Amino acid sequence: MGTTYDVRIWAVRQRKDRGQSSAELRWKVGDTPHSQTFATKTLADSRRAELLTAVNGGEPFDEATGVPVREIRQRNDVTCYQHARDYIEMKWPTAPAKTRTGLADTMATAMPVLVTSRRGMPDPRVLRQALYSWAFNFNRWTEDPPAEVARVLAWVERNAMPVSALDDPLVMRKVLTAFTQRLDGKKAAASTVKRKRAVFHNALGFAVEARRLPHNPLTQVQWVIPPTTDGIDPGCVVNPRQARTLLDAVAAQGARGEHLRAFFGCLYHAALRPAEAVWLRHENCELPASGWGTLHLDGSRPRVGRGWTDSGDPHDTRGLKWRPEREIRHVPIPPHFTAMLREHIQAHGIAPDGRLFRTARGGLVQESGYGEVWARARRKALTPQQHASPLAARPYDLRHACVSLWLNSGVDPVEVARRAGHSVAVLLKVYAKCLDGATAMANARIDAALEHWA
């Protein structure tokens, strides 16, 4: 059943049930009959007049309940704060931990402008922290927040707009403007604005689904999404010689560096994401004595924080990104890297659960830890000009360099996409970038061709 404008309303009729007189109002919405009994005919006539007014005003009726859709929305109207929490609760069970942080971040950004009064508004940073860490973190709803947080959230509850107020383009524009600004007053990255708008659009769609809004009001705003740069900056991509120098600089940092050399090698030689390399286990590795080996990847462990995972562990238990659960990605690795992994296992052994890489206490490798090692390697291996540039600024840039090397070596994009764990469309849009120095090689080839025909 849905909504319809086909409504027929009959005159009120008197009834006597068990010696008592009552008035019955009967009407039909679509093919569904409805009736309502009132104590007096006056009350029944009043309700009949309300329904007739809605019909004459061209309002749609809900066939299941028999009442104007407007009335359903009025019954279901809640505050924006309550709706945001309902949305978080709806999304939480199936959302990865990282997605949960994005949902909370978006709602915490939007909520401060969705209030009817700013009188007594808490400090923006305090307000943001209370919303992000408590109001929109479903895992903490069973906990009693600190007194200060409770006061902040009570203020939000008192001053939050009703959801019905969102059907106003000017309100929507205020929310979109909030997405473009950071707490420090600087402009937010275009990718962040785009992500938050997408989440908020979905939250408004949930309001339509819950019959709290007649339509998604975000589409009524003439607002251009800031353009995002999807492609990788070629300036961040190292060539093979630079990659070797950087890995050597990692190994030169003592026991910790020697242990992480193969970790960074996984990113450069097999295009693993850091979270995939964190979870690489001995059973995932096929390492023959000679020739090419293969990594059989079956999952990842991205670090999100204890408060956002179902297990309470700081690392989320995930399958491969953008792949069905339990799918395995098979990545061939060159002989020299196969030998590197064999040497790593021989020198460092494996964790009780089979992991190749671990902290000194046996835990999962932390981004803060390997990030420090990588920063020191860059300072040692790169020239001052290169160090000041985006060249390999992040360990993740090694993955970009690997995929770029495969593409520039002439490997079929379909095969590159399969190994990297991407669709071909995403691969060509994001990763098809030139190696450092490839421009000079291209120029030399053009010069050679021109000289040939001189």
Question: For 256-281, what is each residue's pLDDT tens digit?
Answer: 999 999 999 999 999 999 999 999 99
Q: Which residues pair with 294 in a beta bridge?
A: 286, 332
Residue 454's pLDDT is: 67
H-helix segments, 41-146 = 41-56, 69-76, 80-91, 97-110, 124-130
Mean pLDDT of 175-195: 92
Q: Is residue 245 part of a domain?
A: no
The band of 431, judged by pLDDT with boundaries at 50, 70 and 90, is: low
Residue 432's pLDDT is: 56
The band of 452, judged by pLDDT with boundaries at 50, 70 and 90, is: confident
Q: Is residue 375 part of a domain?
A: no
Mean pLDDT of 401-415: 88
State which residues form the domain around 28: 3-76
Q: Is residue 301 part of a domain?
A: yes
Which carries the bigger pLDDT value, residue 301 or residue 235?
301
Instruction: Say whether pLDDT at 324 is over 90.
Output: no
Mean pLDDT of 202-228: 88
Q: Is residue 256 part of a domain?
A: no
Which carries the bigger pLDDT value, residue 17 or residue 177?
177
* 289: CATH: 1.10.443.10
197 plus 324 within the same structural domain: no
122 plus 198 within the same structural domain: yes
8 plus 127 within the same structural domain: no
Q: Is residue 274 part of a domain?
A: yes
Q: Quote the mean pLDDT of the chain.
A: 91
292 plus 171 within the same structural domain: no
46 plus 113 within the same structural domain: no
Q: Is residue 247 part of a domain?
A: no
Residue 450's pLDDT is: 85
213 plus 320 within the same structural domain: no
Is the CB of residue 40 less than 8 Å from the CB of residue 12? Answer: no
Q: Which residues pair with 382 in a beta bridge?
A: none
Q: Is residue 89 part of a domain?
A: yes
Which carries the bigger pLDDT value, residue 358 or residue 317?
358
Distance from C-alpha of 269 to C-alpha of 165, rounded to nearest angstrom: 54
Structure tokens at 300: 């990842």
Is the CB of residue 126 less than 8 Å from the CB of residue 152? Answer: yes
Residue 441's pLDDT is: 66
Read off the pLDDT of residues 237-246 as tens digits, 9 standing for 90 and up: 899 999 999 9
Distance from C-alpha of 29 to C-alpha of 135, rounded to nearest angstrom: 41
166 plus 64 within the same structural domain: no
The distance from CA 269 to its chain's CA centroid, rounded to whole angstroms, is 28
The band of 435, judged by pLDDT with boundaries at 50, 70 and 90, is: very low
At 14, give phi and psi (nearest 5°): -80, 140
389 plus 346 within the same structural domain: yes
Residue 72's pLDDT is: 82
Number of independent structural domains in the chain: 3
Task: Please tell me the pTM assigned to this model.
Answer: 0.76
Residue 62's pLDDT is: 87
Report in angstroms the alpha-carbon separations of 143 from 54, 140, 263, 349, 416: 46, 5, 38, 41, 47
Query: If we measure between CA atoms, which residue out of 157, 154, 175, 179 comes closest to residue 166?
Result: 175
Distance from C-alpha of 67 to C-alpha of 70, rounded to nearest angstrom: 8
Instruction: Choose one of 159, 190, 220: the last residue of a domain.
Output: 220
Type of residue numbered 65: T
Q: Is residue 251 part of a domain?
A: no
Read off the pLDDT of residues 18-47 as tens digits, 9 standing for 90 and up: 567 789 999 999 999 999 999 889 999 999
Task: Provide the percentage of residues in the chain whose pLDDT is more than 70.
Answer: 95
Residue 282's pLDDT is: 97
Read off the pLDDT of residues 133-159 as tens digits, 9 standing for 90 and up: 999 999 999 999 999 999 999 999 999
18 plus 149 within the same structural domain: no
Sign of the C-alpha dihedral computed for residues 441, 292, 266 and 277 taken in this order: positive
The band of 322, judged by pLDDT with boundaries at 50, 70 and 90, is: low
Instruction: Say whether pLDDT at 421 is over 70.
Output: yes
Report in angstroms the alpha-carbon separations of 309 from 253, 279, 378: 33, 17, 33
Residues whose CB falls within 8 Å of the CB of residue 183, separated by 6 or more in sequence, listed in order: 124, 125, 128
Is residue 224 packed enough to be buried (19+ CB in 10 Å), middle (13-18) or exposed (0-12)?
A: exposed
Is residue 172 packed enough to be buried (19+ CB in 10 Å), middle (13-18) or exposed (0-12)?
A: buried
Mean pLDDT of 369-381: 96
Is the CB of residue 127 less than 8 Å from the CB of residue 112? Answer: yes
H-helix segments, 271-364 = 274-278, 335-348
Instruction: Say whether pLDDT at 426 is over 90.
Output: no
Read off the pLDDT of residues 83-105 as tens digits, 9 standing for 90 and up: 999 999 999 999 999 999 999 99
92 plus 196 within the same structural domain: yes
Report in angstroms the alpha-carbon separations of 112 from 195, 338, 384: 18, 53, 44
One DSSP character per residue, 372-420 reads HHHHHHHHHHS-HHHHHSSTT-STHHHHHHHHHHHHHTT--HHHHHHHH
394 plus 355 within the same structural domain: yes
Q: CA torsion angle for 368, 370, 373, 374 (degrees, to 10)? A: -100
Is the CB of residue 320 less than 8 Å from the CB of residue 275? Answer: no
330 plus 419 within the same structural domain: yes
Distance from C-alpha of 331 to C-alpha of 261, rounded to nearest angstrom: 19
Task: Provide the percentage of residues in the chain whose pLDDT is more than 90.
Answer: 71
> How big is the chain, counted in residues?
454
Tokens 């390997």 correspond to 370
Tokens 């300036």 correspond to 235
